Amino acid sequence: MNKLLNDLNDEQLQAALHIDGPQLILAGAGSGKTKTLTSRLAYLIKEVGIDPANTLTLTFTNKAAQGMRERALDMIGYSSSYPPLLCTFHKFGLLFLKFNIEKLGRKNNFVIIDSDDKKKLLKSIAKDLKIELSSGFLVSEISKYKNSLLTPEFVTSQAVANEYKNIAAIYTSYQANITENNLVDFDDLLMLTYEILDKNPALRTETSNRYQYIMVDEYQDTNELQFKLLSHLASEHNNLCVVGDDDQSIYGWRGANIRNILDFAKLFPDTKTVKLETNYRSTNQILEAANTLIEHNKTRLGKKLTSHKGDGIAIKLKHSMDESHESHAIALEIKALLASGVDPNEIAVLYRINALSRSLEEGFIRANLNFKLIGGMRFYERSEIKDIISYLRVLSNPNDDFSLLRIINKPKRGIGKTSIEKIQKLAFDQKSSIYGLVNDQNDTLISLIGKKAYGSLLELTENINMLREEISSNGLYSFIVLFENIIKLKEHYRPLPDGADKIQNIDEFYGYFDECIERNSEMRIDEFLNDISLKSEQDQIEENGVTIMSIHASKGLEFEHLFVIGLEEEFFPLLGDECNMEEERRLGYVAITRAKSDLTLCYVDSRFYKGKRKQLEKSRFLGETGIVKSACLKITKSTAFKKGDLVKHKIFGIGRLESVVSSGKEFKLAINFGGNRKEILSSFVEKI
């Protein structure tokens, strides 16, 4: 056997030796998919004699592309100035557009607009059009349109309700602006590439013939646009080899379409399917739990992981009274591991929702444990938490200009940058605080910024005064409910793409505040703030610390000792209209398979939920893994549809999904077709 393939097992070898025709490599967690993919690329070039220029390997991250490139070139021993093209989808789009964008009447000296500039441009357009929509929401919405190949003209034609008309108007103006200035955004790199290939059959044929052998990593994460682009690139030969795992498809919320991998063999006839089921990472006990859990999903191709390592220790179940006891217990166990010589980089704690990180961070700080928070900000550094803290600082000291300036437009009050600069200068000149100027109804201030802006500021100071009087009269007990009712921070954040996460964090903070007041009814705001400062101003964390991260951020990683917290109904799995139970279960599968040998699953009796302490049931997943034998298994129907999805109906066209309700053997979907609301059974529409 060729030395390039010596280290492959039978299934990996079978996949690497396949040359012509479509191939689906169904690669389970820890089964050596990267090794298989790079071995196949090396085999095609080194042994079969395929010109490297005729190969194209696509990944999702630059890090994955770089690692795979180095590995492949090392195997090939290739030193040519024209190595095989191995890059991300978007890098490929950039290279393609540099040579072909003139076919759209554009010049090839275009510039890519970054996310910050995109937000600023959208904010400016919305302001010019006198439309009040957050730039974050607009970025997300326009990205969805582009990845669904919906042009400004189409979106405009479908818009009936005012909100959709406003979005369409901004989208139209935005696209005209960047085209006129020869800019492209991140989504254009793929959308324009597809558009050029779709409109130019000769170029499509030429491009497909150039890339005779195409490979794609993490295929389960592709969206509709990426699938259509790949179909064009492989149109002349169908030599498309994709590697992925339907059981690890966890990005439906950002547009990934699991049907791409589930239907691959139908979409590309004569597909060779190879399953990589030997896992080199985890023990039998861990894989048995993962296999048992994921088998409850109906929408899957089906495979069963087996351990190359063999048996290990049993999975541990940690039951705590609440989140404080949970973090304390985990911290003690981690300290024991570290004392025994375990590398802290081999220890991680995972959670489903970001708000759960607060209790972990505080517990680890109290235990003097070094940790690193991956894929997210520390709880007290998140913008929405800083906003609340700034409000509390102003309530404690109204003359704190620094904190007042942070909250002056949160929620929005229409006070522009120029007005703020004038206010600051006047306060400096008159040796006054901003609060003092407004509260004293300063005539110079009114003439400087106008009655409307002044009225908004006056309303803010009146709210501050009202809240301060409430604290003075009744203390801080039940203060937080009044605070939210008056300030309405949740309403400010709700429309944002990550609004749900921010509201969960706000509720977590509110709940923690109430708990502190219950423990000490005499506590003052300044004392609470000082306590927060001590918790948030920890020394810079060293790199070799215990890892805290979300399950989404953990994909592709592995740890010797792993704790998964929050295994309660409503926390993991999430429940409600927006929940896709099969995707929740796939998240559970991903979490479990990050563990090499030592896995602890944690649940509590109660947590703060939406600002209140709530008694919780243990997660159904504990029963579905077979770990909790006595758990009552909940029978849950599963749907690939969730609130917010764009769907397509053969008569009504494109619509936005507003709710999902079980109806007999399928689901009833409430869909907004540009203002025309219909209830349609799920079998009559498709996701786009």
Render pLDDT for 553-610 as a digit per residue (tens, 0 to 9).
Answer: 899 899 999 999 999 999 999 987 667 899 999 999 999 999 999 999 999 999 987 7
Task: Single out the catalytic residue among 11, 33, 146, 283.
Answer: 33
Segment 468-496 mean pLDDT: 88
Greatest mean pLDDT among 130-144, 279-293, 404-418, 647-661 lies in: 279-293
Task: Single out the catalytic residue among 141, 187, 188, 218.
Answer: 218
Segment 399-414 mean pLDDT: 86
User: What is the rounded distance in angstroms from the CA atom of residue 191 to the CA atom of residue 226?
Assistant: 9
The confidence score (pLDDT) of residue 261 equals: 95
pLDDT tens, position by position, 88-142: 899 899 899 989 999 999 988 887 887 777 888 898 899 889 988 888 889 989 9
Task: Single out the catalytic residue among 12, 34, 57, 175.
Answer: 34
Residues 6+ apart with CB under 8 A from 477: 517, 521
Q: What's the pLDDT band for 427 if we cut at 50, 70, 90?
A: confident
Task: Single out the catalytic residue among 118, 393, 594, 620.
Answer: 594
pLDDT tens, position by position, 623-643: 999 998 756 555 455 566 777
Q: Is 34 a catalytic residue?
A: yes
- In DSSP terms, 259 is beta-bridged to none
- In DSSP terms, 607 is beta-bridged to 614
Segment 328-354 mean pLDDT: 95
pLDDT tens, position by position, 512-527: 888 888 888 888 887 7
**Lowest-confidence range among 228-237, 257-266, 627-636?**
627-636
The whole model's pTM is what?
0.77
Q: Which tops the pLDDT comparison, 662 or 332?
A: 332
Q: What's the pLDDT band for 542 if we cut at 50, 70, 90?
A: very low
pLDDT tens, position by position, 71-91: 888 888 765 556 889 998 998
Closest CA to 307 of 564, 31, 6: 31
Task: Single out the catalytic residue among 57, 207, 248, 593.
Answer: 248
| The pair of three-digit structure tokens given for residue 532, joined into one six-digit string | 């927060």
| The pair of three-digit structure tokens given for residue 55, joined into one six-digit string | 């190969």
Percentage of the residues of the chain whose pLDDT score is greater than 90 = 48
Q: What's the pLDDT band for 615 if we cut at 50, 70, 90?
A: very high
Please give the span between the terminal C-alpha atoms of the chain, in angstroms, as a whole number: 45
DSSP string, 475-542: TTTTHHHHHHHHH-HHHHHTTSTTHHHHHHHHHHHHHHHHHHHHH-TT--HHHHHHHHHHHH-PPPPP
- Looking at every residue in the chain, the average pLDDT score rounds to 87
For residue 352, how many C-alpha atoms fall within 13 Å in the half-sphere facing its CB?
26
The confidence score (pLDDT) of residue 158 equals: 81
Task: Single out the catalytic residue among 185, 187, 188, 217.
Answer: 217
Q: Is 618 a catalytic residue?
A: no
- What's phi and psi for 653, nearest 5 deg? 85, -145
Q: Is 212 a catalytic residue?
A: no
Q: Is 217 a catalytic residue?
A: yes
Per-residue pLDDT for 268 more than 90? yes
The confidence score (pLDDT) of residue 187 equals: 93
User: What is the rounded distance in angstroms from the CA atom of residue 634 to the CA atom of residue 238?
Assistant: 43
Q: E strand or H helix at 203, and its extent?
A: helix 201-210
SS3 177: helix
User: What is the rounded distance in angstroms from the CA atom of residue 455 to the CA atom of residue 98?
Assistant: 52
